Structure 1
Amino acid sequence: MPKVSEAYKKEKKKKLIQAAKTVFIRKGYVQTSMQDIMNEAGISRGAMYSYFDNIDHLFMEVLKEDDYDNMQFFEASDDELLWPQLKQWFEMQQEAIENTHQSLVQAKAEFFLSSNYVKHAEDFPYISQRYNEMTRLIEEVLNWGVYKKEFQLQQPADTIARYIISFINGLMLDTFQLGNEQTKVKEQLSILLFSLENIVCPHAADKE
């Protein structure tokens, strides 16, 4: 049997993660099986299990990939004002939460509410890591805004970052359970932005 290169394995794994993401978006976390993903990817059971141990392992990899794209947004540009960038990020969150059929919101909500995660949270260290990493990234943007004299924070940066994450996560779960018409995602995020504007205090020239 010819030896498979590391580059090939890395690319193959990436394609499997993308196939899994497609299925998780379509079916959610609870209804998705390893067989569903094998069918989507057109791969054998043996090949699939050579990359991933089980559905939870695979979902964590999908989550990491999705988080990477999200976190890349916080690589703030030195040449751009930070407040408009933050508002753009909230617009992205709104779109994802409102359009659950086109995002991982349903799968994420089902996973976090699943008995397996609730009972064995310690088996999923990445969940804590992603929270800490997202907190750090938002905190860095806020502190960078202070350094550039764009922001005048009224609360500690890490507290503001945790407030944002808790709000978004809570809105995501509520909208999954109750629907956008009841949770009014756009209106709630508008209020969040209003409150943040008073907490972050971007200069008037930076608000447009």
Structure 2
Amino acid sequence: MPPIVSDSYKEKKRKEILDSALVCFAQKGFLVATVDDIVQHSGISKGAIYNYFKSKDEIFLELMKASTEATYEKLTGELEKCTNSIDKIIHLFDMYLSPKDREDIGNIVVHDEFKLHASRHPELLEKLNQRRQEYFIQLFSQIIKEGQHSGEIKKDLKPEIYANVFWSMIDGVMIQTIYPDFPSNDVINEMKEMFLRKIKA
């Protein structure tokens, strides 16, 4: 009869696996890193890892889920302090002005690698799309709608289109940060000014 394992023990092991996976993905990239790398880093056997996660894809999705939920909770709390919709949009742009360190850039690259990987796997792509809609498109669309209701933002704009415009711009800038001389802050500030001119009533 196998030993009874407590929920706290299981959660501890899951966290150890995820922490090791994050290190391996950051060091080697999602595509190159293997479950064997996670085994070596964590000291947990491959069989034990597969008791918790079915695949490397599932490990990454769990990491992304945890990161997204934490970021979303922090962000919504910050946005509640803004007094109007325009200030919320400015805050969202300004979030990306901070200088990016090597760890930030590594995480951006790993996320983009996974997106490319998911583009060849419909089930993964659907999960990413659901995450994008639930956490990003809906958030920005709601800000646009609030601004239209208050009279700050033009009534004829389509909220989802402009949510997609915003995140497409941000995604584009983030991947360019792999270049050491890319003027990300200047680009973001210019995009912000253009975007605000376009949407303000």
Shorter-chain TM-score bucket reads 0.7 to 0.9
Aligned residues: 195
User: Which residue of 1 is the match for residue 172 of structure 2?
Assistant: 170
Output one character per residue of 1:102-124: Cα deviation in whole Å (capped at 9) or x when no partner: 3511111222334xx33323444
Structure 2 Cα separation of the partners of residues 6 and 123 of structure 1: 28
2:60 is aligned with 1:59: yes
* Unmatched 5+ stretches in structure 2: none
Structure 2 Cα separation of the partners of residues 108 and 77 of structure 1: 24
Output one character per residue of 1:111-159: Cα deviation in whole Å (capped at 9) or x when no partner: 2334xx3332344421111221110112123333445x37324622211
* Unmatched 5+ stretches in structure 1: 203-208
User: Which residue of 2 is the match for residue 38 of structure 1?
Assistant: 39
User: Which residue of 1 is the match for residue 11 of structure 2?
Assistant: 10
Q: Tell me, what secondary structure is at the counterpart of 2:140?
A: helix
User: Which residue of 2 is the match for residue 206 of structure 1?
Assistant: none
User: Which residue of 2 is the match for residue 139 of structure 1?
Assistant: 141
User: How big is the shift at 1:51?
Assistant: 1.2
Mapped contact 2:14–2:52 kept (Cα < 8 A): yes
Structure 1 Cα separation of the partners of residues 129 and 79 of structure 2: 27
Cα 1:143–1:107 change in 2 (3 A) is same
User: How big is the shift at 1:17?
Assistant: 2.0
Task: Find 2:159's aligned residue among 153, 157, 170.
Answer: 157
RMSD: 2.8
Which region of structure 1 is more displaced relative to structure 2, 138-147 or 24-33?
138-147
User: How big is the shift at 1:53?
Assistant: 1.7
Structure 2 Cα separation of the partners of residues 85 and 27 of structure 1: 36
Structure 2 Cα separation of the partners of residues 21 and 59 of structure 1: 8
Mapped contact 2:29–2:113 kept (Cα < 8 A): yes
Q: Tell me, what secondary structure is at the counterpart of 1:119?
A: coil
Structure 1 Cα separation of the partners of residues 38 and 151 of structure 2: 46
Output one character per residue of 1:138-189: Cα deviation in whole Å (capped at 9) or x when no partner: 2123333445x3732462221111111111222333444xx142x4322221
TM-score (norm 1): 0.76
